Structure 1
């Protein structure tokens, strides 16, 4: 904790710097993030397979499986509105800690540790095509999870021995998920958004930074600063961190790589893990990057809700409607 309080960024955000300085700093951030994530898996054809279809009222829920690398397949739910007949907007929904994709798709499999919402189900009910994969160590990919605990930290130990980064591997899986979503005949690949809460927001935020196919990102219960978040020692699991990241990157740095695309940050007033006050400070700095890139002032939104660490999502549908465009007629 004493060392954390003494950490100073090696290449800090150039507050009030010129546009050229901001853009040069942004490219240095891109290089640092790429180096911190390390080696990524080798790409293989996704070989998408549908194993089950269930009528969920306003939409169909397909269980699909796709290959992410030579040794890893990813199970996911693809939610397709019954009235969708033409290409339109779609959303990649990334779950947080909890029961994985099942929880955000409104299957009652919550294990009591999940404060996230059913945002995949909610968005599909509104007419969006939604893909909700399981992250590594969750849902169908949870090889070992003792009661009231997750295997994120154990996963990190195993990953370190192999010289890989769990966050980078999950990001890789989600880039392949974007391939799958963009290749769907009912999806306009230019109108894809991503949403996630807590751990899912970590993946959402980084994915938007590294994959420019994402037009709008809704980040709930995460954006603030690592320096502040790590004051709570048990806050971050082993699948959300990168070796030697403190002092080399901050949330505002990663946000600069999302710019000038649309970003919604949701904070809770009593969230001790990712404080709303710290989010305001970081967003004020990030606004300068958006301004330098010529983005309208409302491209970045901050929705603050009451309560502790949880997903609210009240502003998410309108955010996607503004930034992904209207749904096809009949949706």
Structure 2
């Protein structure tokens, strides 16, 4: 590009567009604070949008009944249960029977799928009579019981509930969760274990707990002592959440009392409650729900929402908001009496007041009994009496079920011909748009509103700093470096920066822009490399990078990423959106200058991952040059459900359709060569 053209472009931008100072300050200790403010303002705006949209289009019962099946399928999908796993033989086994105080307790286990063992205690009256009884499934919260280093399951902690129901004419099955059960699985994959690939897989332990509940209902209905048409579900805290999932997806639940198990999206995202919850409390929010949607799927069946007024992780305002929104659905059914709200004084504890109302609710709706409660729920067994296994089964998959619960695509299952690839590409892209990037802004995009902040010349090389709107409140930088001499036929070199690359780039730019990057040690050699190129270089920094970087404190960064998931997004997914918006902003600059020239996209590591996906949603590129691109989703940043749709080799094939040449280099290039060796469609890749 001729130097005169660049100066005409810059002059036009400076005259026509007013300057902004959104990120003009030098990078400093305040940058992360400003980045944190931005991301939390973003969370506030997005949460408000989802809250406002929740059930807003439901005005009549017909509106609801027409959509209910679709919402039911969406919830199954977000729990990793679409399609539902096969209902294999439960292989139910009773390992011990205890008779005490007029109760019979059976220690038992069943397999909700082969190798996925569920341990539990079945409580029933010793003197039942001939008629089958109503039943309650009690799903446990996080109440760990360990003796001598051996987990006895959280069922031992919540035993008083099972005993009360049995003493009062019910059969009650109390089941362990995969976390804190006798077989100790994981609920804390993203919370603590850095298993961000759970999001890639569309996996949440909430799905396993819901499935175990479904199979527990199968087991209860198989028992001759149980009236299979009168089954309820309850649980507290984590068990409250599992009560929601099960009541929402399984019509066999005739009455539900989730205790301290649900609140609003605002509480979780804006008011920080997500930081007190492990992953089992949340579906993978692909379809961008607020939680009253889950509650509405229970209607018009009897539902008691129960909570205390000083619960720090299920705050009162959110619980009341959920109730108010779902009440409208019950009113459409003309069944407001089937919805209850019980708030009692207390913190996040299993209080007697909470229990009494739950007991009365089940008496009313499963037994047509309005009598007063005159017995307390107390623990009557030593924890070891309730242990199921003497020795844990060797074929168990409970502790590793996250590896296989949600099926994933095979990275080696690739199209063999270009026509097959093009046919598959359409399907893949549709699924990615719906299930992976469904959290991107929908409808007409916001105006890019490109504005120049400054232009500086240093030793014959000019640096233009511009901004564009990606998604409010994010206005992001474009930095254009125009060297002394340029080849008018050369592609514009667009470089996507992650935080590591940004620090290196800032050091180079500090040579020419000391007033902006004065607290960064200038790197003259890096600057010289930029100045000596024969074509313009443009730097794109998505949100979370450079001037919009949020906290790098490990705990804070973890919960920022978890908040994105609760909004039906991921940080990486929105950064990909920013990159493709940056490319569009660059192309919009002027018809006869940079915007009209061919673009070559360059990136490394995490930024290479953003770039390859951004190329799928942008105008075709001249070249895509990617260094250290991950070869599998598990090693890449998290994108919702992506492993159910494509693996990294599929993505590279898709990208090859969108550029003239694709080059892979760096530490992962050897692995990519190995993948490409048996894949004819990758023969045109460059190394």
Structure richer in helix, relative to its length:
2
User: 2:571 is matched with which residue?
Assistant: none
**Is 1:157 the equivalent of 2:195?**
yes
1:273 CA displacement: 1.4
SS in 1 for 2:347: coil
User: 1:113 is matched with which residue?
Assistant: none
Whole-Å Cα distance in 1 between the matches of residues 367 and 121 of structure 2? Answer: 23
User: 2:72 is matched with which residue?
Assistant: 30
Whole-Å Cα distance in 2 between the matches of residues 69 and 81 of structure 1? Answer: 29
**Is 1:288 the equivalent of 2:328?**
yes
CA pair 155-163 structure 1, distance change in 2 beyond 3 A: farther
Whole-Å Cα distance in 2 between the matches of residues 250 and 177 of structure 1? Answer: 27
User: 2:136 is matched with which residue?
Assistant: 91
What aligned pairs does 1:251-290 form with structure 2 within 5 A after superposition? 251-290=291-330
Whole-Å Cα distance in 2 between the matches of residues 213 and 155 of structure 1? Answer: 35
Whole-Å Cα distance in 1 between the matches of residues 360 and 293 of structure 2? Answer: 26
Whole-Å Cα distance in 1 between the matches of residues 289 and 115 of structure 2? Answer: 30
1:20 CA displacement: 2.3
Q: How many residues align?
A: 308
Unmatched tracts of structure 2, length 5 or more: 1-39, 145-153, 370-687
Q: TM-score, normalised by structure 2?
A: 0.42
User: 2:171 is matched with which residue?
Assistant: 129
**Is 1:78 the equivalent of 2:116?**
no
User: 1:190 is matched with which residue?
Assistant: 229
**Is 1:171 the equivalent of 2:219?**
no
User: 2:283 is matched with which residue?
Assistant: 242
**Is 1:18 the equivalent of 2:80?**
no
Unmatched tracts of structure 1, length 5 or more: 106-117, 145-149
CA pair 326-48 structure 1, distance change in 2 beyond 3 A: farther
**Is 1:53 the equivalent of 2:97?**
yes
User: 1:104 is matched with which residue?
Assistant: 158
**Is 1:320 the equivalent of 2:320?**
no
Whole-Å Cα distance in 2 between the matches of residues 203 and 186 of structure 1? Answer: 24
Deviations 1:146-204 (A, max 9, x none): xxxx7564688398276633111111111110011111111100000011101000000
Larger RCO of the pair (alpha carbons < 8 Å, separation 6+): 1
1:225 CA displacement: 1.1
1:229 CA displacement: 2.9
1:104–1:121 CA contact under 8 A, matched in 2: no
Larger CA deviation: 256-265 vs 6-15: 6-15
User: 1:111 is matched with which residue?
Assistant: none
Runs (4+) of structure 1 exceeding 4 A deviation are 150-156
CA pair 124-156 structure 1, distance change in 2 beyond 3 A: farther
1:79 CA displacement: 0.6
User: 1:298 is matched with which residue?
Assistant: 337
Q: CA RMSD in A?
A: 2.4
What aligned pairs does 1:108-119 form with structure 2 within 5 A after superposition? 118-119=160-161
CA pair 226-121 structure 1, distance change in 2 beyond 3 A: farther
